[in-house]
Amino acid sequence: MDREDKNSPVEVFIGNSFNANMVKNILENENIPAFINNEIIGTILPVYSSPLNAIKVMVPREKFEMARTIVNNYNDNSNR
């Protein structure tokens, strides 16, 4: 796998703006670079993003497995 493939962004979370920002902050606290995709359209036109939960948190492909574990823990704890 070359350098570009390892660093290409992959989606690790889809949700509303609040939860996406929470997940992004948790990931960054674990030294996993993350960014939010589609936040502006989700904020300006929530009617378009709400049914699809179009706000996404993206991480580098090489960090995906670690990030997915963290996101799964977040989802489990937030559903209690």
Query: In this predicted model, what pLDDT tens digit does every residue of 27-80 receive, in sequence order?
Result: 999 999 999 987 665 555 555 545 555 789 999 999 999 999 999 999 998 876
Pairing state between β 55-60 and 9-15: antiparallel
> Domain range spanning residue 60?
3-78
CATH number (domain holding residue 63): 3.30.70
Question: What pLDDT score does 36 carry?
Answer: 94
Q: Give the residue with greater pLDDT, 25 vs 54.
A: 25
Complete DSSP assignment for the chain: --HHHHHSEEEEEEE-HHHHHHHHHHHHHTT---EEESHHHHHH-HHHHTTTT-EEEEEEGGGHHHHHHHHHHHHHHHT-
Number of domains in the chain: 1
